[in-house]
Structure formats: structure tokens, C-alpha cells
Amino acid sequence: MTREVYIMPKFDFIPSVLVLRIVVILLVLVGNAAAVHAEVSIDITRGTVEALPLAVTDFHGIVAPEQEVGRNIAAVVSANLERSGLFSPLDKRAFIQTAASLRVRPRFSDWRVINAQALVQGNVKLQQDGQLRVEFRLWDVFSEAQMRGRAFVTVSENWRRVAHMISDEIYKRVTGESGYFNTRIVFIAESGPTRRRIKRLAIMDQDGANHQYLTDGSNLVLTPRFSPTLQEITYLSYFNDEPRVYLFDIESGRQELLGGFLGMTFAPRFTSDGKSVLMSYAKNGNSDVWRMDLSTRKATQLTKHAAIDTSPSASPDGAEIAFNSDRGGTPQLYVMDGNGANVRRISFGRGRYSTPVWSHRGDLIAFTKQASGKFHIGVMRPDGSGERILTESFLDEAPTWAPNGRVLMFFRQTPTDSKGKGGTSRLFSIDLTGHNLREVITPGDASDPAWSPLIP
């Protein structure tokens, strides 16, 4: 408006053609101003929860070995993203543009046609020094802009890890939360007949690849837990027929008895700083929660109660500890301060609650619940509110959180029939929404999974 006032008088004296032009310009200005006023506003208050359709193309390579790695990486990335339930990778056969021409630039119309909303492309190059160089780009097909681009250099056997890192990059860029693909799982691999069951500590990538046994099965091993440093595992093993908590170094394979307790120690779990281990110690038939400082090896008693206190799990900041106790008559979940003070019960639902596990992002505690003859995996807030049951089966147990706090893994047993058949034990994952239940493929029966932090 102010412009009008200034301009008009200025050109009053100019020949009519010019005046006309000015008037037109003014009218356009006015028109624009009016257009601004004429905006309509629409509130969108609900959407759908659908997986994002994306195209993961084979990474481009020039020579055959590069092309093979390129195909393999694309397959791993695609499978990872698909398993998350948040992405739906499109069938490669529908792709119009080739990997080679993608290097020039994506033809976005070709990708819109097949309803891809995001596009993943990449290049693989085996360098002269033997190193593998993998580069990827993530494109937003609708806005035709690159969302993420990154290159990785590593030894060529490491391509799988690169694929996991690329998956994490994509997941993080699209969802805003860090991923969980470049992680490993330790679990108890079970084999043999029920009476002489062999239980071995095993480790594998989050997608089931690179499976290997860490122990030979001569000693019974249970409830492994990852240290936040990724270097160590703490678990329960038997020594002189008594359960004891051990530390195990993944790299060296060295096992160490933790603490000189006179009696059973069990249910160990690292605190989130990795500096101490919380566990249960049964002294004179009474179990309480203890903390063992790993640098000083000094043990501190945190609960003192005649009831069974077990399964401690610290909050990410270490300020609080959730645990399981039957001090109220049935096993329920409790939270106390990091020093054992201020104990309060948080579970009040019908049934028996056990194995509380604090999420890495601190907002939820996962647990096992037994009610009406069924087992469930559920979550609740640390104050006990917002309880949600995610699974139900004959036997679901031992939840463990993905590092991003959005996915849980647990093991599920099926009942044996009258002929002794069935009775399998397998690992499953479920996402926080309660959808997307997936079996995590293991070579045989498996139980007690523990999810590692993200590998840096």
C-alpha cells in the first residue's frame, strides 16, 4: 500500500503509455496482495500409519565384483528397512530408470510413476588399496531434492556393516530417530533334547547374519546382557551347581566371575554408563538387589526386604532403578532411587509382572506380564501410567530394547503337545505400536535375547 502512494504521484506527468504500464504493474501488485489475503487454510488433524514406499536400487559398480557388492548392499538395506515396518521397498522389477543412468541424476517422474516417495541409489568402488568405497544418496522423489548423501570407506569384507550403516542413515533421516540396524544380538542358542538341553551363548547381527557361538555349551549360560561399551557381556552361569554372575569379554573370549559373593547371584544387568552391574544376590535364602562397581569391585546392597527383589534395570541417567518384587503378595514392578531409597510400586494391573527393562530413551519400561494363563510383553511409563500390552502368547518373555527405544525383541515358546512335539523357542521383535511382529531367524531354538547398542 505504501508503494502505491509514493509511485503514483511520481509518474503522474509521464506519457499515457507509461502510465498505463505503471497502472498494470500496480494492479498486479494489488492483485498479489489480494491473493495473499485470499489464502484458504485447511487443518489436517489425522493421517494414516502407512509404510513409506521407497525404491532401493542396486548400487552401481563398474566391474563385476563391485556390481555384486552393490546388489548385496541394496538387498540388505532393503530387507532392513522392510523389517522395520516403516518402509515398504518396491519391487525392483518395476523400476524404470537404470542404476547407471541414476548416476547422472534421478528422473523423478520415472519414480513417481511407480509410486516411490523416496529413492536410494549408490555406487561401489573397489579402490586400488583394496579398500571398499560405498556411496549412497537418499532422494525425496516429490520435492526432487537430496535428503542425505554419504560415503563409507572400509575393508571389503565389511560391506554388510556398511549396508547396516546406510540403513541407519536412511531410517534416521526419514523418521528423525536414530536407527538400530548396525547392532548385534547375543542370545542363548538351545539345542538337543529337553532333558539334556545344550545352551550356548551366541552372537549375530541384528538381521541374523554372521552368527557364531561364544561358548561351547559345557556350562549352562542364561540371561546375557550387553555392556554399553559393546565389549563385554554379563550373564548367569553355573559354578559348582550354583548360579553366579559372570563377565565375558567378546573379543578375547575371557570369562570372569563377578564378585566373591557367598551364595547365588543372578539377573545381572549393566547400568547405562557401563561402570557397574546391578544384580540379585540371594543371601540366606533372601534375594535383594545389589550394585557392583566394576572399577573398585565393591558391592552395595540397594534393597533390604524379606521378599524376593530381582531383575533390576537402571534408567538411562542412572538416577532410578526399576525392579521386580513380590513384597506386595504377587510379583509386581517397583521403582527406587539409584541409591535404593524411595521405593514405590508402579504396576497395578491384574496379573503378575516381571523383568522390567528401562528403555534407552527413558520414556518407557518394558516388562513381561502373566495374566489369565497367557504371557504378554508390554510397556508402561516409569510412573506406571499408560500401560500397553504389545503381545500375547503361550509364553512370551525377556524383552530387550533396540537402541532407539522403538522396537523390542523377546523370545516366544510354543507348548509341547502330548507326544512331546512342538515346544520351540524363537526370537521375535515387535514395534512400540504393537504392530509388525517379526520372527528373528536363528539357526535353531533361541531364548534370552539381548540387543547391543549401536556399533559406532
Closer CB to another protein, 106 or 331, in the complex:
106
Window 143-202: residues binding another protein (CB under 8 A) = 143-155, 157-158, 161-162, 165, 172, 174-177
Burial classification of residue 183, based on how many CB atoms lie within 10 Å of its CB (0-12 exposed, 13-18 middle, 19 or more buried): buried
For the CB of residue 39, give the shortest distance to another protein in the complex, in Å: 5
For the CB of residue 249, give the shortest distance to another protein in the complex, in Å: 12
- Residues in contact with another protein, counted by CB under 8 A, come to a total of 77
Residue the block writes with cell 548396525: 182
Compose the 210-229 pattern: x for residues touching another protein by CB under 8 A, - for all others: x-------------------
Q: How many Cβ atoms sit within 10 Å of the Cβ of residue 418?
A: 6
Q: Does 108 bind another protein (CB under 8 A)?
A: yes
Q: Does 101 bind another protein (CB under 8 A)?
A: yes
d(CA 386, CA 432): 13
Among 5, 17, 40, 306, the residue binding another protein under the rule CB under 8 A is 40
Window 248-267: residues binding another protein (CB under 8 A) = 251
* 215 touches 201 (CB < 8 A): yes
Q: Does 8 bind another protein (CB under 8 A)?
A: no
Q: Does 330 bind another protein (CB under 8 A)?
A: no
Window 41-80: residues binding another protein (CB under 8 A) = 41-52
Q: How many Cβ atoms sit within 10 Å of the Cβ of residue 437?
A: 14
For the CB of residue 58, give the shortest distance to another protein in the complex, in Å: 17
CA-nearest of 341, 348, 271, 357 to 303 is 341
Among 406, 410, 425, 429, the residue binding another protein under the rule CB under 8 A is 406
Closer CB to another protein, 88 or 414, in the complex:
88
Closer CB to another protein, 186 or 302, in the complex:
186
Question: Any alpha helices (H) in 291-363, and if so which ranges?
Answer: none
Closer CB to another protein, 41 or 372, in the complex:
41
Window of 39-47, 305-313, 408-416, 442-450 that interacts with another protein by CB under 8 A: 39-47
Q: Which residues pair with 186 in a beta bridge?
A: 203, 450
- Residue 318 is classified by DSSP as S
Among 17, 36, 262, 306, the residue binding another protein under the rule CB under 8 A is 36
For the CB of residue 186, give the shortest distance to another protein in the complex, in Å: 13
Q: Pull the grid cell for residue 72.
A: 548385496
The terminus-to-terminus CA distance of the chain in angstroms comes to 58
d(CA 277, CA 274): 8
Q: Does 110 bind another protein (CB under 8 A)?
A: yes
Backbone angles phi, psi at 223, to 5 degrees: 40, 60
Compose the 117-146 pattern: x for residues touching another protein by CB under 8 A, - for all others: x-----x-----------x-x--x-xxxxx
Q: Does 112 bind another protein (CB under 8 A)?
A: yes
SS3 for 2? helix
Residue the block writes with cell 527383589: 309
CA-nearest of 297, 266, 292 to 280 is 266
* 222 touches 235 (CB < 8 A): yes
For the CB of residue 439, give the shortest distance to another protein in the complex, in Å: 20
Closer CB to another protein, 92 or 160, in the complex:
160
For the CB of residue 73, give the shortest distance to another protein in the complex, in Å: 13
Among 38, 64, 306, 341, the residue binding another protein under the rule CB under 8 A is 38
d(CA 86, CA 52): 6
Window 410-439: residues binding another protein (CB under 8 A) = 431-433, 435
Window 264-323: residues binding another protein (CB under 8 A) = none
d(CA 309, CA 221): 21
Helix (H) or strand (E) holding 12: none
d(CA 350, CA 184): 35
For the CB of residue 266, give the shortest distance to another protein in the complex, in Å: 29
